[in-house]
Amino acid sequence: MPEREDRLVRCFASVFPALTPEEIRTASAESIEAWDSLAAVTLVAVVEQEFGVEIDPLDLPELSSFGAFRTYLGLCREVGPGRDVNTNQ
């Protein structure tokens, strides 16, 4: 699980390069000015590709913090790179 969290931190760091790993772990749309709609779309795409999951657009409003992503991914079964399998069950 820590390895998955590190990968999630890397995803956030690629989209928010100014944040430290510590800041990323507490990051949210409210606290990060750079977290605009473009960053949100990019972040979702990066996470989908990195974890091989497909995120339902209806879930996007809830994915507004690092913690929310971590929880969301905890419910997903990772299938590796690719986007063919919706595992958000």
Residue ranges binding another protein (CB under 8 A): 10-11, 14-15, 17, 38, 41-42, 45-46, 49-50, 54, 57, 81, 83
CB of 38 vs another protein, minimal distance in Å: 8
CB of 10 vs another protein, minimal distance in Å: 7
State which amino acid sits at residue 5.
E
Contacts of 75 (CB under 8 A, 6+ apart): 88
User: In terms of CB distance, is 46 or 68 closer to another protein?
Assistant: 46
Give the angle 2-63-81 at the CA atoms, nearest 5°. Answer: 55
CA nearest to 64, candidates 49, 43, 48, 78? 43
The DSSP call for residue 78 is: P
CB of 81 vs another protein, minimal distance in Å: 8
User: In terms of CB distance, is 10 or 77 closer to another protein?
Assistant: 10
